[in-house]
């Protein structure tokens, strides 16, 4: 019975409140482009971004995958997740899409891709 009395006397609000404070320094996060290529198709015609994403990813078959982003001004960012994938793409050049030559440049660590 003593245990039941102790349990009855428990109170969730015991008057002590702990505040958890998280400080996140957003400014210190740096974006790195270590495993990235910037590509540009040599054409004055419009190139459909969705078609580029599907066809280039299927053509390259990267082991770790590839994330393709439109940087505007007819430039595209190809982000790889394994060194072997980016090396295979670089060594396999020249690449074309709809007979348009794709020129690629390997971006350095903190270098701006534009």
Quick one: pLDDT at residue 5? 67
Query: What pLDDT does 104 receive?
Result: 95
**Which of 76, 56, 73, 74 is closest to 65 using CA atoms?**
56
pLDDT of residue 87: 95
pTM for the predicted model, two decimal places:
0.71
Superfamily of domain 28-106: RRM (RNA recognition motif) domain (3.30.70.330)
Mean pLDDT of each 10-residue bin along the chain, 114 residues long: 64 55 52 89 91 92 93 92 94 92 90 82
pLDDT at 109: 73
In the chain, domain spans: 28-106
- Among 51, 48, 42, CA closest to 101: 42
Nearest alpha carbon to residue 39 among 108, 107, 98, 99: 107
Bridge partners for 97 per DSSP: 100
What is the enclosing helix (H) or strand (E) of 45?
Answer: none
Task: Report the pLDDT value the prediction gives residue 9, as an integer from 0 to 100.
Answer: 65
Q: What does the pLDDT read at residue 15?
A: 57
Tokens, residue 78: 């190809």
């Amino acid at each position: 019975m003593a245990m039941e009395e102790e349990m009855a006397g428990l109170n969730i609000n015991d008057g002590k409140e702990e505040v958890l404070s998280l400080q996140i320094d957003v400014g210190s996060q740096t974006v790195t482009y270590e495993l990235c290529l910037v590509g540009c198709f040599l054409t004055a015609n419009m190139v459909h971004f969705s078609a580029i994403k599907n066809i280039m990813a299927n053509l390259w078959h990267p082991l770790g995958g590839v994330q393709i982003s439109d940087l505007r001004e007819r430039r595209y960012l190809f982000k790889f997740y394994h060194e072997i994938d980016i090396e295979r793409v670089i060594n396999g050049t020249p690449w074309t899409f709809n007979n348009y030559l794709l020129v690629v440049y390997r971006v350095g660590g903190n270098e701006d891709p534009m």
